[in-house]
Amino acid sequence: MSFPIQRPRRLRQTPGIRALARETSLSPTQLVWPLFFREGIGAPVAVKTMPGVFQLPTSTAAQVAKDAKDRGIGGVLLFGLPARKDATGSSALDPNGPVPNVVRAMKDAVPELVVMTDVCVDEYTDHGHCGLVKRTGATFEVDNDATLSILANMAVVHAQAGTDVVAPSDMMDGRIASIRQALDSAGKINTVILSYAVKYASCFYGPFRDAADCAPQFGDRSSYQMDPSNAREALREIALDEAEGADMVMVKPALPYLDILARVRNATTLPLGAYAVSGEYAMIEAAALSGMIDRKRAVLESLTAMRRAGADFVLTYHALQAAEWLDA
């Protein structure tokens, strides 16, 4: 008895049939563009470790918002680089700091653009840690509970400036509950919280620390960010943030953590983001610039892989470029 050969290739024969069989879509609306706005500069400053990425003057905010809207991307994520840093990151609470100023300018220029703001003090502290630091001799401790009210106040300042989404990236315990409570008390019941719920202590943030000028001046972040060896712990972080009131959650980094994305996808009904971080961007750019890889195909394949693994949206420094390719 002879069976006919089973032929999966039948579904690959023409672009039309391949399109019908395609399981994963990628569109500009699923991309969020992270941006660095720096106080006190008159022209964009190139980030050495991220070719094509710039620290931007706050005066360019309206134009950048228009560019984002013209490309039809899902939103922007703002990071602020203040002129002044101190031990407590006090400039993070300044209603006239770079982030609130840029939020107002963007929402004035393009009210429908979804604006997200990173909530974390590491760009504002002189030591570069994501919370208040207690030093005892050669050791130091990041004080979880003392940091919570700062984060909550920072989120309220951003919400009052008009941000749609606050995205806490600090990894302190209990921050989602404390931010939700502060937003609600300030009447900001509609401000969305996108939690960096699953954030690993990753070397792939290296270029970001140049871009955002926030490398820790001593120690590292492994007492608050997650151990790259752990997967079950990701599910615990998701469950806690969900219970505390997160509206959306994120896994970060993305490409080396696709297994985590897939597991988190099965564990939550909330919208799920993947953050393709600075080091992922730098790897593709370095390989593309030296002619070792095709930039466009590498970017689109990577973003599709993140969607396939379960991400509803991807935060990527390639957002504008990828949106242009997807439109073409």
Pairing type for strands 132-136 and 139-143 reads: antiparallel
By beta-carbon proximity to ligand PBG, the closer residue of 118 and 244 is 118
Shortest spacing between CB 69 and ligand PBG, in angstroms: 23
Shortest spacing between CB 278 and ligand PBG, in angstroms: 3
By beta-carbon proximity to ligand PBG, the closer residue of 58 and 316 is 316
Rounded to the nearest 5 degrees, what angle is found at the Cα of 71, between the Cα atoms of 70 and 73? 115
Verify binding: residue 124, ligand PBG, rule CB under 6 A.
Answer: no
Shortest spacing between CB 62 and ligand PBG, in angstroms: 24
Shortest spacing between CB 88 and ligand PBG, in angstroms: 16
Q: Are 267 and 243 in contact (CB under 8 A)?
A: no
Q: Are 302 and 280 in contact (CB under 8 A)?
A: yes
Shortest spacing between CB 142 and ligand PBG, in angstroms: 12
Would you call 224 helix, strand, or coil by DSSP? coil
Q: How far, in Å, CA of 185 to CA of 90, rounded?
A: 21
Q: Which of residues 158-197 bind ligand PBG (CB under 6 A)?
A: 169
Compute CA distances 186 → 148, 151, 189, 286, whole Å: 16, 14, 8, 45
Task: Quickly count: other Cβ atoms within 10 Å of residue 90's Cβ.
Answer: 16
Count the site residues for ligand PBG by CB under 6 A: 11
Confirm whether 134 is a catalytic residue. Answer: no
Q: Select the residue whose beta carbon is closest to ligand PBG and give its number.
A: 208
Q: Work out which of 234, 274, 277, 319 binds ligand PBG, going by CB under 6 A.
A: 277
Verify binding: residue 284, ligand PBG, rule CB under 6 A.
Answer: no
Selecting among 48, 85, 134, 252, the annotated active-site residue is: 252
- E-assigned strand segments in the chain: 31-38, 45-46, 54-57, 75-81, 115-119, 132-136, 139-143, 165-168, 192-199, 248-252, 272-276, 313-316
Selecting among 66, 107, 199, 296, the annotated active-site residue is: 199
Q: Work out which of 124, 208, 224, 313 binds ligand PBG, going by CB under 6 A.
A: 208
Rounded to the nearest 5 degrees, what angle is found at the Cα of 191, between the Cα atoms of 190 and 195? 130
> Using the 8-state DSSP alphabet, how is residue 125 labeled?
B
Verify binding: residue 125, ligand PBG, rule CB under 6 A.
Answer: no
Given the rule CB under 6 A, which of 156-164, 202-210, 243-251, 261-269 is the region that contacts ligand PBG? 202-210
Q: How far, in Å, CA of 244 to CA of 151, rounded?
A: 15
Q: Work out which of 33, 36, 200, 205 binds ligand PBG, going by CB under 6 A.
A: 205
By beta-carbon proximity to ligand PBG, the closer residue of 110 and 260 is 260
Confirm whether 199 is a catalytic residue. Answer: yes
Q: Work out which of 278, 302, 316, 321 binds ligand PBG, going by CB under 6 A.
A: 278
Query: If you search the block for the tokens 């941006």, which residue do you land on?
Result: 35
Q: Which of residues 104-123 bind ligand PBG (CB under 6 A)?
A: 118, 120, 122
Q: How far, in Å, CA of 215 to CA of 213, rounded?
A: 6
Residues with active-site annotation = 199, 252
Binding region for ligand PBG (CB under 6 A):
118, 120, 122, 130, 169, 205, 208-209, 221, 277-278
